[in-house]
Amino acid sequence: MESLDSSFRDPSGYIFNLDGIFYRAVHISYKDNLDLLENTGLYSHLLSKEQILSYDAQETSKFNVNNDYYKVILPDQLKHVSYPYEWCFSQYKDAALLTLDIQEASLKHGMSLKDASAFNIQFHNGKAVMIDTLSFEEYKEGDPWIAYRQFCQHFLAPLLLASFVDIRSLKLMNVYLDGIPLDYVVKQLSFMKLLKPMVFIHIYLHSKAQNKNASKVNSIKKNISKHSLLGLIGTLKSLINSLKWNPKGTEWGDYYSDTNYSDLSMDKKITILDSLLDELKPHTLWDIGGNNGEFTRLASNKGIECLLFDIDYAAIEKSFLKSKLENEKNITSFVMDFTNPSPGIGWNNKERLSIIDRGPAEVVLALALIHHLCISNNLPFHYVADFFARIVSKSLVIEFVPKNDSQVQRLLKTRDDIFINYNKEFFEAEFAKFFNIKKSIKVDNSERFLYLMQKRNS
Q: Verify binding: residue 28, another protein, rule CB under 8 A.
A: no
CB of 197 to another protein, least distance (A): 5
Cα 276-279-281 angle, rounded to 5 deg = 100
Q: Verify binding: residue 343, another protein, rule CB under 8 A.
A: no
- Cα(157)–Cα(183) distance, rounded to whole angstroms? 10
Residue 38 zone, left/alpha/beta (φ > 0; ψ -120 to 50; rest):
alpha
Nearer to another protein, 31 or 439 (CB): 31
- Cα(241)–Cα(61) distance, rounded to whole angstroms? 46
- Cα(353)–Cα(343) distance, rounded to whole angstroms? 7
Nearer to another protein, 225 or 378 (CB): 225
CB of 156 to another protein, least distance (A): 12
| H or E stretch at 276 | helix 263-280
Encode 433-443: b = buried (16+ Cβ within 10 Å), e = exposed: ebbeeeeebeb
Encode 54-88: b = buried (16+ Cβ within 10 Å), e = exposed: ebeeeeeeeeebeeebbbbbebbeebbbbbbbbbb
Tell me which residues in 149-168 interact with another protein (CB under 8 A). 149-150, 152
C-alpha neighbours within 13 Å on the C-beta side of residue 436: 8
CB of 207 to another protein, least distance (A): 7
Segment contacting another protein by CB under 8 A, of 5-13, 50-58, 66-74, 402-410: 5-13
Segment contacting another protein by CB under 8 A, of 185-193, 195-203, 255-263, 439-447: 195-203
* R_g of the chain computed on alpha carbons: 24
Q: Verify binding: residue 206, another protein, rule CB under 8 A.
A: yes
| H or E stretch at 435 | strand 435-442
CB of 232 to another protein, least distance (A): 5
- Cα(237)–Cα(151) distance, rounded to whole angstroms? 12
CB of 418 to another protein, least distance (A): 52
- Residue 131's nearest CA partner among 106, 155, 95 is 95
Nearer to another protein, 214 or 420 (CB): 214
CB of 223 to another protein, least distance (A): 8
**DSSP secondary structure of 331-371:** EEEEE--TTSPPPPBSGGGTSB--TGGG--EEEEEE-S-HH
Nearer to another protein, 194 or 429 (CB): 194
Quick one: which of 67, 218, 257, 340 contacts another protein (CB under 8 A)? 218
Q: Are 74 and 55 spatial neighbours (Cβ–Cβ below 8 Å)?
A: yes
Q: Verify binding: residue 395, another protein, rule CB under 8 A.
A: no
CB of 13 to another protein, least distance (A): 12
Cβ-based neighbours of 205, under 8 Å, separated by 6 or more: none
Long-range CB pairs of 41-45 (<8 Å, 24+ gap) are: 41/109, 42/105, 42/106, 42/109, 42/111, 42/136, 45/105, 45/109
Quick one: which of 175, 192, 214, 325 contacts another protein (CB under 8 A)? 214
Coil, strand, or helix at residue 456?
A: coil
CB of 114 to another protein, least distance (A): 6
CB of 160 to another protein, least distance (A): 16
Give the count of beta carbons closer than 10 Å to the beta carbon of residue 281.
Answer: 11
Q: Verify binding: residue 224, another protein, rule CB under 8 A.
A: yes
CB of 333 to another protein, least distance (A): 30
C-alpha neighbours within 13 Å on the C-beta side of residue 429: 7
Q: Verify binding: residue 209, another protein, rule CB under 8 A.
A: yes
- Residue 154's nearest CA partner among 241, 242, 88, 95 is 95
Counting Cβ atoms within 10 Å, is residue 127 exposed (0-12), middle (13-18) or buried (19+)? middle
Quick one: which of 219, 348, 404, 457 contacts another protein (CB under 8 A)? 219
Quick one: which of 21, 205, 264, 418 contacts another protein (CB under 8 A)? 205
Segment contacting another protein by CB under 8 A, of 74-82, 208-216, 287-295, 318-326: 208-216
Cβ-based neighbours of 373, under 8 Å, separated by 6 or more: 338, 339, 379, 384
Nearer to another protein, 200 or 347 (CB): 200
Interface pattern 284-323 for another protein (x via CB under 8 A):
----------------------------------------
Residues that bind another protein (rule: CB under 8 A) add up to a total of 48
Q: Verify binding: residue 325, another protein, rule CB under 8 A.
A: no
Q: Verify binding: residue 212, another protein, rule CB under 8 A.
A: yes
Cα 35-36-39 angle, rounded to 5 deg = 85
Tell me which residues in 132-151 interact with another protein (CB under 8 A). 144-150
CB of 57 to another protein, least distance (A): 23
CB of 229 to another protein, least distance (A): 7
Q: Verify binding: residue 230, another protein, rule CB under 8 A.
A: yes
Segment contacting another protein by CB under 8 A, of 60-68, 167-175, 220-228, 296-304: 220-228
**Binding positions for another protein, rule: CB under 8 A:** 9-12, 114-115, 144-150, 152, 195, 197, 200-202, 204-214, 216-225, 227-232, 234-235
